[in-house]
Structure 1
Amino acid sequence: MDRTMTSSADTTTEPALIALDWGTSSLRGFLMDGGARVLAERATAHGIQNLPQPGPAGFDAALAALCGDWLDAHPGLPVVAGGMVGSAQGWVEAPYVATPADATTLADRAARVETASGRPILIAPGVLHDPAGAPPDVMRGEEIQIAGALAENADWARNACIAMPGTHSKWVRVSDGRIAAFSSYMTGELFAVLKTHSLLGRLMPADREASPEDEAAAFAVGIRAAQSAGPGDLPHQLFATRTLGLTGRMPAEALAHYLSGLLIGHELRSGLALLAEMPAGTPLLLIGAPALCSRYGRGLAAFGVTPSAQLGNTAPRGLFQFATAAGLLPIGTAANTMSAP
């Protein structure tokens, strides 16, 4: 069942933008003022794979259910969107733009769609990194979060490494205000598949949780295993998730946390190798859900690394930067830091 959540801030400030973070499983809307402040926020489960009805009419219906009153009350406000709504399965496809990319690049290559009532919506493209001699990589939605993060600190826009934990984690190199390169890791999806659809999950009880002590210990064992791994060790170490449980060396409730630590640890080894190739002193930022970023922070601590900052939802500010770069907001609104470090 859809859930709608609303939170309000300074409602005396004049709205300037309706921003939509439209993903696979959820839709979030933000009513924002000219200072990039969120005046109101709403969310439903109407992601692109869960629309009220198929086709373009489903997108229209989802938008109306989320913020039809905002659209009616503010007929002149620009509307922008980012995320999977711009994918091939979305409302309209916004093809990937190549690295290096900044907010201006996204705005220049944005796609446009109109609602049934004729309201225009500007949709941000994703980003493609296609280095010579290596497989291509893509992101869609993360580029908006990155734009929001870089708007908060000009030093980050000049040079930063951004780790974005999630289903498909990203490690991103930012240089001169642009997304210069990135690598994706299927850490979250691998964990879900192995836990739910493999032999490893059969010993993991669904009705019992590990104690905080057992959870922390199992996660640390997984991290240490990844730290000590040699080439090709991961498949062997994955099987240890089962044998640690079979032999009673680890409580069944803690096995998922060992698996989590192992997969995150291998990702961190690779990601930190990328960070080591960047200039000395490059700040490392974490962007994502607080609980997951906290888990990554624990893993990083085992590697002797402390992130420079841990950020939450930067998408609203990123959508604001995108709208500014597209010329949809008047002169004098918050500056577009991503394209002008």
Structure 2
Amino acid sequence: MSNYFGLTPQLLSLDWGTSSLRAFLMRESNVIETRQSGHGIQHLPSSGTAGYEQAFAEIAGDWVAQWPQLPIVACGMVGSAQGWKEAPYVRCPADMQLLASKSITVQSGLGPDILIAPGVLFDVPDALPDVMRGEEIQIAGALLTNPQWAIRSCMLLPGTHSKWAQIENGRIVRYSTYLTGELFSVLSKHSILGRLMPAEGDSKSESDPAAFELGLATARRSGPGDLSRQIFGTRTLGLAGRLPLASLAEYLSGLLIGHELVSGMAGAGDLTSVPLVMIGAPSLCQRYVHSLKYMGQSADAVLDNTAPAGLWNLAMASGRIA
């Protein structure tokens, strides 16, 4: 096996989502090189298996040609029912050994096979069922690099579908999903609220911390059933001249994030006794850090992309690397 910039790669890992595909060349849990393409499972260059094979070849074909024995692991929507091949959900409580044992393989089209991680299902009586696919690998990456959190911690992964996961003894024991990011996108782009808001990127659109905090405050003092009324308030605050039209999106963002935090913190229990760890894009995490502080809570750690470390963890647990 040849050296790559003086290092010998040990793993090729893929974080394959709905809208994008990221590939990582790795050694000893460290990323040597990262590549990204727009060929998520909904944007393949062609349909069916051929589309997945082409997308993989385009992003990593030269790596496979140079190191044909390199093990390959993947996570994300590529293992969903709409993906390359379905890796069925495993049930909570779930740890890395269970994820590794239930992973499936698919032929890459270039010779070696690809190990695809399953998602995680939370389904207990008297509670809404919940699913995650990809976040479990990010959590595994955080636990690999910070094993002290495996004892007991709360993991917050903000995003389109925000996750609040409770970790005990290295296992995901329960979690909740909040449609915060997607709800903001739908309401601001495809509802009557958006008609008053400047278009995204418009010079009239502006950051307004006061409007954002008004949304947080409204969520914090809300009662049962208030959310839909408060959402409509995004429109009436503009019509009544209480907020500039350019600030309505900030108010709506604060309102939705605030409701998520009120519910998420209540479900997490006593956060003074367990670490609250945030994983996600830095700009979004910063917004959540500010929101948590406004609500009287702090994050004990904020991590960027932990998926590569989680995929390394999967490769070790499955015996793909020593």
TM-score for both structures, normalised by structure 1: 0.91
Of the candidates 288, 296, 304, which is equivalent to residue 304 of structure 1?
A: 296
State the 1:250 CA deviation: 0.8
State the 1:67 CA deviation: 1.0
Mapped partners of 1:291, 1:116: distance in 2? 37
Residue 196 of structure 2 corresponds to which residue in structure 1?
Answer: 203
Of the candidates 320, 327, 334, which is equivalent to residue 312 of structure 2?
A: 320
Residue 216 of structure 1 corresponds to which residue in structure 2?
Answer: 209
Render the CA deviation track for 1:179-226: whole Å, top value 9, x for unaligned. 1100001111111111011111100011234444xx101100000000
Residue 269 of structure 2 corresponds to which residue in structure 1?
Answer: 276
Measured at CA, do residues 304 and 320 of structure 1 come closer, stay the same or move farther in structure 2, by a change above 3 Å? Answer: same
State the 1:262 CA deviation: 0.3
Residue 59 of structure 1 corresponds to which residue in structure 2?
Answer: 52
State the 1:118 CA deviation: 3.0
Partner of 1:267, secondary structure, is: helix
Percent identity among equivalent residues?
55
Render the CA deviation track for 1:46-72: whole Å, top value 9, x for unaligned. 000000100001000000110110010
Residue 227 of structure 2 corresponds to which residue in structure 1?
Answer: 234
Q: Is the 8 A contact 2:220 2:259 kept in 1?
A: yes
Residue 338 of structure 1 corresponds to which residue in structure 2?
Answer: none
State the 1:74 CA deviation: 0.4
2:154 is the alignment partner of 1:161 = yes
Residue 24 of structure 1 corresponds to which residue in structure 2?
Answer: 18
Render the CA deviation track for 1:246-290: whole Å, top value 9, x for unaligned. 111111111001000000000000000022257x51000111111
Of the candidates 237, 242, 257, which is equivalent to residue 244 of structure 1?
A: 237
Mapped partners of 1:128, 1:251: distance in 2? 43
How many matched pairs? 317
Of the candidates 253, 258, 263, which is equivalent to residue 265 of structure 1?
A: 258
Q: Is the 8 A contact 1:25 1:48 kept in 2?
A: yes
TM-score for both structures, normalised by structure 2: 0.96
Structure 2 gap ranges (5+): none
Of the candidates 38, 51, 69, which is equivalent to residue 76 of structure 1?
A: 69
2:114 is the alignment partner of 1:121 = yes
Measured at CA, do residues 211 and 167 of structure 1 come closer, stay the same or move farther in structure 2, by a change above 3 Å? Answer: closer
State the 1:116 CA deviation: 2.2
Q: Is the 8 A contact 1:21 1:27 kept in 2?
A: yes
Mapped partners of 1:131, 1:295: distance in 2? 32
2:171 is the alignment partner of 1:178 = yes
Q: Is the 8 A contact 1:84 1:90 kept in 2?
A: yes
Q: Is the 8 A contact 1:161 1:174 kept in 2?
A: yes
Q: Which moved more, 1:109-118 or 1:173-182?
A: 109-118
The code of the aligned residue for 1:89 comes to Q
Mapped partners of 2:219, 2:293: distance in 1? 14
Mapped partners of 1:119, 1:183: distance in 2? 36
Of the candidates 51, 63, 88, which is equivalent to residue 81 of structure 2?
A: 88
The code of the aligned residue for 2:231 comes to L
Mapped partners of 1:57, 1:135: distance in 2? 37
2:286 is the alignment partner of 1:294 = yes
Render the CA deviation track for 1:156-185: whole Å, top value 9, x for unaligned. 111100111111110000000011100001
Q: Which moved more, 1:117-126 or 1:68-77?
A: 117-126
Q: Which moved more, 1:203-212 or 1:141-150?
A: 203-212
The code of the aligned residue for 1:159 comes to R
Q: Is the 8 A contact 2:69 2:112 kept in 1?
A: no
Aligned residues: CA RMSD = 1.1
Q: Is the 8 A contact 2:156 2:277 kept in 1?
A: yes
Of the candidates 127, 138, 151, which is equivalent to residue 134 of structure 1?
A: 127
The code of the aligned residue for 2:286 comes to S
Mapped partners of 1:211, 1:277: distance in 2? 36
Residue 4 of structure 1 corresponds to which residue in structure 2?
Answer: none
Measured at CA, do residues 209 and 73 of structure 1 come closer, stay the same or move farther in structure 2, by a change above 3 Å? Answer: farther
Render the CA deviation track for 1:28-59: whole Å, top value 9, x for unaligned. 000001x1110110000000000010000100
Structure 1 gap ranges (5+): 1-9, 331-341
Q: Is the 8 A contact 2:160 2:182 kept in 1?
A: yes
Mapped partners of 1:120, 1:49: distance in 2? 22
State the 1:12 CA deviation: 1.4
